[in-house]
Amino acid sequence: DAGITQSPRYKITETGRQVTLMCHQTWSHSYMFWYRQDLGHGLRLIYYSAAADITDKGEVPDGYVVSRSKTENFPLTLESATRSQTSVYFCASRGTSGYEQYFGPGTRLTVT
């Protein structure tokens, strides 16, 4: 499928478990981003990547790990999930010649 996809769309996990959220884009965009969205906070940037093997922290990186071995994939891992990480997670990408970010459909994560 063309565009930006996220998987899984819904996930329930237990406190302390490791979970990985996947993000895949087909445009070969250089930049990719992970946001989380919580009631009362809007969207907050977790991590971003300017290219393969180049990542940097955003506003709320604690408890998350990212990697980017291939341009098209940008997985987000919660190493030991906590209830405070219950949220909706959005992945986005942007090319080097445009200003707009394109967002995926989101992953709704619940940590019990």
Partner 1 sequence: DAKTTQPPSMDCAEGRAANLPCNHSTISGNEYVYWYRQIHSQGPQYIIHGLKNNETNEMASLIITEDRKSSTLILPHATLRDTAVYYCIVRVGDTGTASKLTFGTGTRLQVTL
Contact footprint for partner 1 (CB under 8 A): 31, 33, 35, 42-45, 48, 50, 56, 58, 90, 92, 94-106
Nearest approach in angstroms of CB 18 to partner 1 is 25
To 5 degrees, how large is the angle CA 73–CA 88–CA 4? Answer: 30
Residues in the chain: 112
Alpha carbon distance 51, 30 (integer Å): 5
SS3 83: helix
SS3 33: strand
Task: For partner 1, give the closer residue by CB, 11 or 44.
Answer: 44
Nearest approach in angstroms of CB 6 to partner 1 is 9
Least Cα distance to 94 among 9, 35, 7, 8 occurs for 35
Nearest approach in angstroms of CB 100 to partner 1 is 4
Nearest approach in angstroms of CB 48 to partner 1 is 5
Task: For partner 1, give the closer residue by CB, 21 or 92.
Answer: 92
Task: For partner 1, give the closer residue by CB, 7 or 101.
Answer: 101
